[in-house]
Amino acid sequence: MKNISKIISIVFLNFSILLLCYVFYRSQVVHFGAKFDYYLKYYIIAFLFIILSFISFFIPEKLKINITIVFTSTIICLYIVEGYFVTNYLIKTLKDNRFEIYKNNTGQNYDKRSKFQIYNDLKKENPNIAVTIVPSFFLSDKNLNYLPLSGLSNRKTISCNENGYYSIYQSDRFGFNTPDEEWDKDEIEFFLVGDSLTHGDCVNEPDTISGNLRKLINNENGVLNLGQGANGPLIEYATLREYLPHVKVKRVLWLFHGNDLLFSNELKNQILVTYLKDKDFTQNLFLKKQFTQELLLQKLKEESFIRGSERFHRRKPLIKFLILTNVRTFLIERFFSSSASAPNELKLYLMKEFENIIKLSNELAKENNSKFYFIYFPYYERYKDHVYAHDLSTYKKAIEKAIEIVENLNVPIINLNKELFEKQKDPLSFFPFRLPNSPHFNESGYELIANIIFNKIEEFEK
């Protein structure tokens, strides 16, 4: 019995150490520390297991065996639940007819290449081809003298594929998804900041919100799109500070998505925080863009960087099953997400910072003789039948509070949930193939959104 008891403790200790090593590998090797905040909870769990492993050496044998039986039974139950989720996923995959739909609609084959594959294929034709590199990739690096707020400039840039093809755009002189000649126009009609929805992920540039707005204006004025994937309020404010004063802008459009409230990682970055503390601070990115280009080129050379963004989505069902992907998301991720981003916490901490950022952004727009508009995008999960749907629970009160804050600041709001989605019988038609894991819009979705924004602004300004 003593040998069995000792073996149990040793096995548990080895398992805990392996878990810690795997967490370290995912956090520091795969993601280069950029997602440390995400993996912190798993570090805590791994260290907790190690501590319990050492304690287990001193637990009475019968109690240890009983605990082991309970622990083993729990693990088996979790894998049964995971098996249920994976089976459902495989059933949905068998019903996934996006390839057939795309073929019927376009006469072309759905592009099944990974981003890494298409990058290597296009690199043979164009050595300067790039992929999107967003500011959030650099937030955890404390050794940077400059924080990039855009991607590589003047390059064909691969974005993403949710509609059957990879969207590829020519980045402008600063690295944004905007035709470069727009910067030379005497006046800018619309100046957009926001996250991937603003950037126009997974559609070609003319089909983005900014591209559609450009079609709607009946003058020679420009439209600038400075949105970048995963941007939060502080990055967007920094973007305004760096670029808005250098052009004549009629309207600033702040496009807000529900997850934009989760920007605590931005508040840990000293360069970004300096924008809040010092209104005169600037990185001079408009005049000295070369400072960040070398850093971006270095990131582009990292094969693991290009592969990393797609690893989760390309994992085979067996791998997802072994690492309990769905169970962890439903239990651990949801628990920590609701704890870290619960409405009360947001109200006490992040909400105050959010209010300050919107206030400063509105003031900055006024200082530059621009009108400031706030545009709210609801969560995609709101319109799909999915186990991880949380817009109506975890974030609902926080989003309502955010909108209330904006209203109290007398900022005009365009609520796309009320203006578009609640008026549609089939809101899923605005998303790629109506399928889960496609959080961005299709061409018709972006077009309708641009039309609503344009028409609502005309109403505001009558």
Q: How many domains would you assign to the chain?
A: 2
Burial class (CB in 10 A: 0-12, 13-18, 19+), 400: exposed
Residues 12 and 407: their CA atoms lie apart, in Å, by 54
The larger pLDDT score, comparing residue 274 to residue 8, is at 274
173 touches 180 (CB < 8 A): yes
Give the tens place of pLDDT for each residue, 305-347. Answer: 777 655 444 556 777 788 888 888 777 766 665 444 444 545 5
Beta strand 168-170 with 188-193: parallel, antiparallel or unpaired?
unpaired
Task: Tell me: do 53 and 132 sit in the same domain.
Answer: no
Residues 336 and 338: their CA atoms lie apart, in Å, by 5
Look up residue 203 and give its DSSP letter: S
Task: Name the amino acid, one letter, at 216.
Answer: L
Task: Tell me: do 133 and 280 sit in the same domain.
Answer: yes
The pair phi, psi for residue 373, each rounded to 5°, is -120, 140
Task: Tell me: do 298 and 251 sit in the same domain.
Answer: yes
Q: What is the CA radius of gyration of the chain?
A: 24
Question: So what's the pLDDT on residue 341?
Answer: 43
Task: Show the DSSP H helices in 230-331 as ranges.
Answer: 233-243, 270-277, 290-300, 303-314, 317-322, 325-328
Give the tens place of pLDDT for each residue, 264-291. Answer: 889 999 999 999 999 999 999 999 888 8
In a domain, 52, yes or no: yes
In a domain, 223, yes or no: yes
**303-340 burial, b if ≥16 CB within 10 A, otherwise e?**
eebbebbeeeeeeeeeebbeebbbbbebeebbeebeee
User: Which of these ranges, 339-348, 367-376, 407-416, has the smallest mean pLDDT?
Assistant: 339-348
Inter-axis angle of helices 351-367 and 270-277, to 10 degrees?
60
Task: Tell me: do 48 and 126 sit in the same domain.
Answer: no
Closest CA to 238 of 146, 100, 142: 146
Q: Give this prediction's pTM.
A: 0.83
Range of the domain at 265: 115-313+341-460
